[in-house]
Amino acid sequence: MNGVPLLSADISLFIVQLIMITLLSRTLGTILKFIKQPRVIAEVIAGILLGPTAMGRIPGFTATIFPASRLNILSIVANIGLILFLFMVGMELDLSLLRKDWKKSMAISVAGMAVPFGFGAAVSVFLYQAFLVRLEEAPPFSSVVLFLGVAMSITAFPVLARILTETRLISAPVGITAISAAAVDDAAAWCLLALVIAIVGSHDPLNTLYIFLMLIGFISFMFLGAFLVRKFYKVPEKITQELVVYSLLICFAAAWVTDLIGVHSIFGAFITGAVLPRDNHFTVQLIEKIEDLTTFIFLPLYFAYSGLRTDLGLLDSGLAWGAVFLVIFTACAGKILGVGGTCKALGMGWRDTITVAFLMNTKGLVELIVLNIGLDAAIIDTTVFTIMVVMALVTTFITSPVVNFVYPPKLRREVLKLERTMSSRGLPQTKSIHLPDIGILKGMLCIPHRDSLPHAVNLLSLLVESQKSVSSFICAKLTKITDRESSVFKITQKSILKDSHQPLMVHPFLLVSTHPFQDHIDQKLLQRVELTHEEILGTLEEFPREIIEVLHDNEVDILFYPFDVRNDLAEIQSLSVLLQGSPCAVSLYIPANTSTVLGSGHGKIFVPFLGGTNDHEAVRMAVSLSRQTPVVIGRFNLYSPDTTTVELPGGDDNELLNEVQKLIEEGTPNLSISNFNCSDAALLSTIEEELEKNYSLVVLGRNSVAVVGNNGDSKFWIESSIVFGSLGAHLMSKKFWTNMLIVNRSKRNPLFFTELRISSESSSL
């Protein structure tokens, strides 16, 4: 080091700044996450704490870590992050939100901007006289009025979408209304801001007109170019590196052009994102490529940079704090009166009206971007900037608590239950003759991952083929909510499509049409199944509770859950919670590989019967499947190594097997019983040897035997044994290339349809 200061180089200083900002932002974000607050609040608070308000008061801290003369790299990187973020915001803006009830969305949005704009213009008179008129270079009053009017009328679309997603209101009518109006508000606000910047940047009206016309020309050129691209170029299903590079180059080039025109560079990035093609989910894939670095590294730098410019110490008088409360009151009153009054006039209830009004009052990160632009353009000073930052934080902070108070979890569940009922009534369903001796199977099929879809469809086909009557199935797609913007974007898109009564991009049979498994799907099955779709949102920890609520609401008889053996311990623990709380029978389907297809002509079904209630359920299910596929029930008679006395099944176990034998004697096809005499120690090897034969599926009961061997005391093995039973966990660990269906008995009575399958009246099977 030779006497050279540690932070003498600009890059060394920037790295230290980056580490401090990122660590503090993530720590605060983790804390605020427990009270359902968006990440942007943590990022701004981190900047405020690092600035003159808190740590800046430590002697030498600001001069060493954040010296004003050496913030150039931080500022440049932060602004690059801002450009990329606005590029993402443009891609997230989907005008198809207006496809339904566009008049309602437009009315709410216009009122939600006009009234707050008027309130902002009014409060700007007070702020100008109290803080700005005394400056050496006071900004023009007209510029302050326009700027604060726009700042008050803004709604943060990304933050609003995340709040709706986390509160599960994204697909409810109130959520669709709010997000549709916010989309219009967001687009209009950026256009108004561009106009304000053009007016402020030029004191000559003729020059302002020139900037405005140049901006119109630029927007027209971008939309025309996008139209030609969509017309002559087919977007590939999977985005390539070249497309990512070219898209980013266009984004930065557009940002440079709008900066040359005299409008902020972020407007060019926003327009680029808005005009990009939506074919094959191009924008979703592009956001996934750039979001992590942008939202977790670059964007926190920008908001921390904003926090460094925020000094709460300037609010050192009653006048200043009076201005803070006045601005907060004015911002809330403008949105609530404008949006709430319009919603009420359109016939919405009070609960929905209040919810939409407070959602539209979310300022969040968009407001902070606007305020920084105003500060850079010298429209406002640091004191007014600080006042407005406090307002943005407060209005964003109160949104989630108010929405959760107005729409508590219990009421949200009722809304979703009603939505499910209405949705299922709206779907075309096939009429067929009901056979009185066979009950309708009401099942639910979870689709936790896209990769599990073909396995789910194969299983559904086999189950429907085994029934004489129409089966009713709910296909439930599990969608994880993560910190990523693309997660919210995908959910928003699905809700839009769902609301517009268009096929969802995650609908099982639509996805299958582009999958190699389509050759194995019998389209005639669709005439024999009442199929409805359900979207379940949540984190991995929340999925069990959400699934159980759907099972209760729909009175489901049996749940089928495909499980990938490559999944981690967290998903196994989540399944454990689901099994403990499920009100119905649960069957865990573990596919062997992506080339094994279930159904007639594809091998046989084997049931290792060792006794117990879950094994009873496994036998009943296997017998019901025997209409299409041969079923072999393995009757294992165990004896101890030191004796040759064979322990035969007794009691209920023997009674069940006698009923199955009676079905066989009455001529039931595809059904047989094989006897296996082996010692306790040889049980595993005997089962493994049998599975080497041509079996496409093994059906076994969960926890079918107390001890079958131990693969170690690891936590993974212990949890797997709890969820899949000791035999199931052992077979999974051996990686047998055989599909497994692990059955867990219902807390209620055994399945109605399976009981009928083993009765004497069902001998016609």
- Helix or strand or coil: residue 98? helix
Q: Using one digit for the tens of pLDDT, what is the confidence trace for 720-753?
A: 777 888 788 877 776 656 788 888 877 655 553 4
Q: Which residues contact 752 (CB under 8 A, 6 or more apart)?
A: 439, 557
Question: If pLDDT is split at 50, 70 and 90, which confidence band does 200 have?
Answer: confident
Phi, then psi, of 520 in degrees rounded to 5: -95, 0
Q: What is the pLDDT of residue 323?
A: 94
Percent of the chain predicted with pLDDT > 90:
12
**Cα torsion angle, 408, 409, 410, 413, sign:** positive
Among 113-127, 193-207, 349-363, 607-621, where is mean pLDDT lowest? Answer: 193-207
pLDDT at 195: 78
**483 or 659: which leads in pLDDT:** 659
Q: What is the DSSP string of 301-364?
A: HHHHHHHHT--GGG--SHHHHHHHHHHHHHHHHHHIIIIIHHHHHTT--HHHHHHHHHHHT--H
Mean of all residue pLDDT scores within the chain: 77
Residues of the chain with pLDDT > 70, as a percent, come to 77
Q: According to the model, what pLDDT value does residue 467 have?
A: 62
pLDDT score of 390: 92
Q: Model confidence at 503, in pLDDT bands (50, 70, 90)?
A: very low
Lowest mean pLDDT among 123-127, 566-570, 590-594, 700-704: 590-594
* CATH superfamily for domain 439-591: HUPs (3.40.50.620)
Is beta strand 671-679 parallel, antiparallel or unpaired with respect to 631-639?
Answer: parallel
User: For residue 758, what pLDDT band results from cuts at 50, 70 and 90?
Assistant: very low
Q: Do domains 439-591 and 592-765 have the same CATH topology?
A: yes
Q: 289-340 pLDDT, tens per residue?
A: 888 888 888 888 887 788 788 888 888 889 999 999 999 999 999 999 999 9
State the pairing for strand pair 695-701/739-744: parallel
pTM of the complete model: 0.72
Judged against a pLDDT cut of 70, whether residue 97 lies above it is answered with no
Q: What is the CATH number of domain 592-765?
A: 3.40.50
Tens digits of residue pLDDT in 263-286: 888 889 989 998 898 777 788 889
Provide the phi-psi class of 740: left if phi over 0, else alpha when psi is between -120 and 50, else beta: beta
The highest-confidence range among 477-486, 607-616, 718-727, by mean pLDDT, is 607-616
Specify the range with the lowest mean pLDDT, choosing from 136-145, 179-188, 479-488, 498-507. 498-507
The dihedral over CA atoms of 659, 660, 664, 669, expressed in degrees to the nearest 10, equals 140
Q: Give the model's pLDDT for residue 526.
A: 58
Is the pLDDT confidence value at 626 over 90? no
Write down the pLDDT at residue 295: 82
| pLDDT tens track for 560-600 | 888 876 667 788 888 888 888 888 888 888 877 544 445 44
Q: How far apart are CA 479 and CA 491, in angstroms?
A: 8
pLDDT at res. 612: 80
Model pLDDT for residues 442-467, shown as the tens digit of each residue: 888 888 876 667 777 777 777 766 66
**Would the pLDDT of 488 be above 70?**
no
Determine the Cα–Cα distance for residues 606 and 115; give it in Å rounded to an integer: 70
CA-based nearest residue to 532, from 453, 431, 434, 444? 444
62: left (phi over 0), alpha (psi -120 to 50) or beta: alpha
Residue ranges per domain, the chain?
98-290+319-411, 439-591, 592-765
Q: What's residue 240's pLDDT?
A: 87
Q: Any idea which architecture 98-290+319-411 has in CATH?
A: Up-down Bundle (1.20)
User: What is the rounded average pLDDT of the residues 483-512?
Assistant: 48
Comparing CA positions, the residue from 190, 218, 232 lying closest to residue 89 is 190
Q: In the prediction, which pLDDT does 122 show?
A: 93
Query: Once rounded to an integer, what is the mean pLDDT over residues 609-621?
Result: 84
Determine the 3-state secondary structure of 39 from DSSP: helix
Q: What are phi and psi of 739, to 5 degrees?
A: -65, 145
Q: What is the pLDDT of residue 203?
A: 66
pLDDT at site 513: 33
Residue 198 has pLDDT above 50, yes or no: yes
Report for 393-397, 636-640, 667-671, 700-704: range of highest mean pLDDT: 393-397
pLDDT of residue 601: 46
Q: Which one of 344-353, 517-526, 692-701 scores highest in mean pLDDT?
A: 344-353
Of 469-483, 617-631, 738-752, the one with minimum mean pLDDT is 738-752
Output DSSP code: residue 647.
Answer: B
- In sequence order, the 6+-apart residues with CB closer than 8 A to the CB of 197 are 262, 263, 264, 373, 377
**Residue 749 class from Cβ within 10 Å (0-12 exposed, 13-18 middle, 19+ buried)?**
exposed
pLDDT of 416 reads 62
pLDDT single digits (tens) 148-176: 998 898 888 778 877 887 777 777 778 88
The pLDDT, as a whole number, for residue 80 is 92
Is pLDDT of 400 > 90? no
H or E segment to which residue 668 belongs? none
Show the CA angle centred on residue 396, arms to residues 149 and 144, nearest 5°: 20
